[in-house]
Amino acid sequence: MVMTKIKTIGVLTSGGDAPGMNAAIRAVTRSAIYAGLRVFGIYRGFNGLINGDVKEFTTESVSGIIFAGGTILLSARSKEFLTPEGRAKAYKTIKDNGIDALIIIGGNGSLSGAQALSAEYDIPVIGLPCTIDNDLYGTDNTIGFDTALNTIVECVDKIHDTANSHNRIFFVEVMGRDAGFLAMNSAIAAGAEAAIIPESSTNIDQLAAYIDRGIRKSKRSSIVLVSEKDGGAMHYAERMYKEYPEFDVRVSILGYLQRGGRPSAMDRILASRMGVAAIEALKEGQRNIMIGVVNDQMVNVPIARAVKKDKPINEELINVLSVLSI
């Protein structure tokens, strides 16, 4: 389908909310209207498509939202949309409202869902990578990652005070689902001793020896950032406590603190650029692609490639953390 046939788009946010989602909704809406398109906001993710929960948007619909966390369109992880019946209902809403293309703002699961719909019903879909996990291949950063990272670092800075005051070892668990981007990057930024991430194996004895060496030298405490996968911080803290009872171990699970809050300037800019690029891509006749930014250049990545869950952790970061935490 080429742009001449696309007159109306639908936009939705799906999956876990992420800071910058609103900035992305604003950018998509305004750039679409700028290009002469009608825009429908679809509420509660794919559930809104299934239930016909849609509303036409104007430029004013997205005023005063660029600085807000969460999503004005609301979000959901729709179980019904995973079924062919659910997707059939979703397609009916698309047809009933004359929607010619969809912009999906979300993470891995959301973009995979969009792809399934597009394959079954021949509806053009453009994805914007929006998740704190940063686990989509084909973009250096996803919208929301930078803000979550900054939130984590702020929390770990505070934990440092207690760790130092009591000579404690802290295992701080962060989100990221199957990926260690939040754990690895926040470990470097917070000056932590180590990061336990799904992308590389962790030997508890080596970790203990390493922490012990640091404390013997001069360190008053140790902080280990732990990705939530594989039992997370509790799992590692319990093992450490059992095998090395001489350490005073504590756990802090940051949880949903990481997902909320005002988006950073970087996330607002990323969301704005990606929203404009999504409409540009539609104009060029692109479909089933995700917008990415690689080396500061806008790129289009096939959604099928983006969602393979194989975005690599930069090995250089692993080295930086280990060099600087001696």
What string marks each residue from 264 to 303 as x (binds ligand F6P by CB under 6 A) or -? Answer: ----------------------------------------
In the bound state with ligand F6P, the residue whose beta carbon lies nearer, of 255 and 285, is 255
Q: Contact between 44 and ligand F6P (CB under 6 A)?
A: no
For residues 199-228, which are near ligand F6P according to CB under 6 A? 228
Q: Contact between 177 and ligand F6P (CB under 6 A)?
A: yes
Q: Contact between 307 and ligand F6P (CB under 6 A)?
A: no
The minimum distance between CB 115 and ligand F6P, in angstroms, equals 17
Select from 107, 124, 127, 129 the one that contacts ligand F6P (CB under 6 A): 107
Question: Using CB atoms within 10 A of its CB, is residue 206 exposed (0-12), middle (13-18) or buried (19+)?
Answer: exposed
Which residues, 6+ apart, have CB-to-CB distance to 301 below 8 Å?
A: 137, 138, 139, 289, 290, 291, 292
Q: Do 14 and 110 form a contact (C-beta atoms < 8 A)?
A: yes
Q: Do 135 and 107 form a contact (C-beta atoms < 8 A)?
A: yes
Q: What is the CA radius of gyration of the chain?
A: 22
For residues 63-82, which are near ligand F6P according to CB under 6 A? 77
Task: Give the HSE-up count for residue 298: Cα atoms under 13 Å, Cβ half-sphere.
Answer: 17
Q: Contact between 146 and ligand F6P (CB under 6 A)?
A: no
Q: Which residues pair with 125 in a beta bridge?
A: 102
Q: Do 40 and 56 form a contact (C-beta atoms < 8 A)?
A: yes
In the bound state with ligand F6P, the residue whose beta carbon lies nearer, of 133 and 193, is 133
Q: Do 276 and 284 form a contact (C-beta atoms < 8 A)?
A: no
End-to-end CA distance of the chain: give it in Å, rounded: 57
Rounded Cα gap, residues 92 and 62, in angstroms: 26
Which residues, 6+ apart, have CB-to-CB distance to 1 below 8 Å?
A: 100, 101, 122, 124, 285, 287
Q: Do 154 and 168 form a contact (C-beta atoms < 8 A)?
A: no
Q: Contact between 311 and ligand F6P (CB under 6 A)?
A: no
Q: Contact between 176 and ligand F6P (CB under 6 A)?
A: yes
In the bound state with ligand F6P, the residue whose beta carbon lies nearer, of 257 and 269, is 257
Range in contact with ligand F6P (rule: CB under 6 A) among 82-90, 169-177, 218-226, 230-238:
169-177
Closest to 111 in 3D by CA, of 135, 90, 93:
135
Select from 13, 14, 16, 54 the one that contacts ligand F6P (CB under 6 A): 16
In the bound state with ligand F6P, the residue whose beta carbon lies nearer, of 6 and 105, is 105
Q: Please say if 100 is a catalytic residue.
A: no
- Check 17, 100, 122, 133 and give the catalytic one: 133
Q: Is 203 helix (H, G, I), strand (E, B) or coil?
A: coil
Range in contact with ligand F6P (rule: CB under 6 A) among 98-106, 175-183, 186-194, 204-212:
175-183
Which residues of this protein are in contact with ligand F6P, per CB under 6 A?
16, 77, 107, 131-133, 175-177, 228, 259
Catalytically active residues, by annotation: 133
